[in-house]
């Protein structure tokens, strides 16, 4: 019904060309028979236009315009009831139809404007959210960087601390911390000396500060004595060190002990100094990454 082609109230569509003639003929016939007058096409169109407008957004969004259309339709209906399908009735009906179509257009406009306002709000919110996400990402990156710097600082400090009490070197098997057997144990014993515990406290702190994937505590002896005795002694010493480190915070499941006996000497066993160097405990650290 809306947007029908019209020019100053005269329809140019061909669909109604025969309508008025038919209606006029029927009206004459019915009038002659004393029956009710048939509403003119304009009035039917006006009623349909109003019904359509009332179903649409105009009901909520253009109620004043819809009410005006309703009153205009009532005026056309009244005139039709009073005078029949006169030219005035048709004019009034046409006016009612146009008012209904205006109301529908106003409702549609209001609905579209509200939709646009909602979209504008969404756009603004999305912009704010984007900005917030950017800030969060920026902060997270800064925080991550600070954490990395701090971790590197702690690792460096831990390494420096270790270097003061033991030889530390990086090998393909991991970072190897070598502690002299003479500062850890009395000759032939596997109980830790008091000075050994102080050193191992520092080792445990460095390890827990730095973090690691696993450690293997390996005990070594010089070549004096039987191989089986040396292996047994080196195992007991490695186990002592490993157990002590666990009591100081090294996770038990990450730490193991091995007795290597007189294998893998780092110096000659033919001199006292060389044998002293061979009597040692090595802690092989596998880094986290």
Q: Provide the binding-site residues for other proteins, judged by CB under 8 A.
A: 3, 6, 8-9, 87-88, 91-92, 94-95, 98-99, 101-102, 105-106, 108-110, 112-113, 115-116, 119-120, 122-123, 126-127, 129-130, 133
Min dist. Cβ of residue 55 to other proteins (A): 16
Min dist. Cβ of residue 146 to other proteins (A): 27
Min dist. Cβ of residue 119 to other proteins (A): 4
> Among residues 72 and 283, whose Cβ is nearest to other proteins?
72
CA distance 172 to 216: 14
> Among residues 9 and 35, whose Cβ is nearest to other proteins?
9
CA distance 88 to 90: 5
Min dist. Cβ of residue 15 to other proteins (A): 19
Min dist. Cβ of residue 96 to other proteins (A): 10
The region that residue 155 occupies, defined by phi over 0 for left and psi between -120 and 50 for alpha, beta otherwise, is alpha
Q: How, if at all, do strands 280-286 and 214-220 pair?
A: antiparallel
> Among residues 82 and 129, whose Cβ is nearest to other proteins?
129
CA distance 261 to 238: 10
Look at residues 36, 49, 42 and name the one whose alpha carbon lies nearest to residue 89: 42
User: Which residue is it, tokens 């009153």?
Assistant: 71
> Among residues 8 and 228, whose Cβ is nearest to other proteins?
8
Min dist. Cβ of residue 249 to other proteins (A): 45
> Among residues 8 and 172, whose Cβ is nearest to other proteins?
8
CA distance 238 to 285: 14
Cβ(166)–Cβ(177) below 8 Å: yes
> Among residues 92 and 206, whose Cβ is nearest to other proteins?
92
Which CA distances in Å does 281 have to 76, 90, 144, 243, 254? 111, 113, 37, 13, 17
Q: Is 144 helix (H, G, I), strand (E, B) or coil?
A: helix
Min dist. Cβ of residue 174 to other proteins (A): 42
Min dist. Cβ of residue 113 to other proteins (A): 5
> Among residues 9 and 287, whose Cβ is nearest to other proteins?
9
- If you write DSSP's letter for every residue of 83-136 in order, what string do you get? H-S-HHHHHHHHHHHHHHHHHHHHHHHHHHHHHHHHHHHHHHHHHHHHHHHHHH
Give 284's strand partners. Answer: 176, 216
Q: Is 279 helix (H, G, I), strand (E, B) or coil?
A: coil
């Amino acid at each position: 019904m809306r947007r029908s082609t019209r020019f100053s109230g005269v329809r140019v569509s061909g669909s109604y060309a025969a309508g008025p003639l038919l209606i006029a003929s029927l009206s004459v016939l019915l009038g002659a028979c004393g029956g009710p007058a048939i509403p003119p096409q304009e009035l039917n169109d006006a009623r349909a236009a109003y019904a359509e407008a009332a179903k649409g957004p105009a009901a909520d969004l253009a109620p004043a315009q819809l009410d005006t259309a309703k009153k205009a339709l009532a005026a056309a209906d009244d005139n039709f009831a009073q005078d029949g399908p006169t030219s005035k009735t048709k004019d009034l009906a046409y006016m009612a139809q146009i008012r209904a179509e205006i109301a529908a257009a106003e409702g549609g406009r209001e609905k579209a404007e509200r939709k646009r306002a909602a979209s504008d709000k969404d756009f603004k919110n999305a912009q704010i959210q984007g900005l917030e996400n950017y800030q969060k990402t920026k902060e997270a990156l800064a925080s991550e960087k600070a954490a990395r710097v701090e971790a590197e600082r702690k690792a460096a400090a831990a390494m420096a601390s270790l270097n003061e009490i033991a030889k530390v070197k990086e090998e393909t098997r991991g970072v190897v911390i070598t502690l002299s057997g003479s500062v850890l144990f009395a000759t032939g014993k596997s109980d830790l000396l008091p000075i050994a515990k102080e050193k191992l406290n520092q080792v445990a702190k460095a390890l827990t500060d730095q973090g690691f994937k696993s450690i293997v505590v390996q005990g070594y002896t010089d070549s004096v004595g039987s191989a089986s005795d040396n292996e047994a002694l080196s195992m007991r010493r490695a186990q002592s060190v490993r157990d002590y480190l666990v009591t100081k915070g090294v996770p038990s499941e990450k730490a193991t002990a091995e007795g290597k006996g007189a294998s893998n000497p780092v110096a000659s066993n033919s001199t006292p100094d060389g044998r002293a160097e061979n009597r040692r405990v090595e802690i092989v650290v596998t880094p986290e990454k």
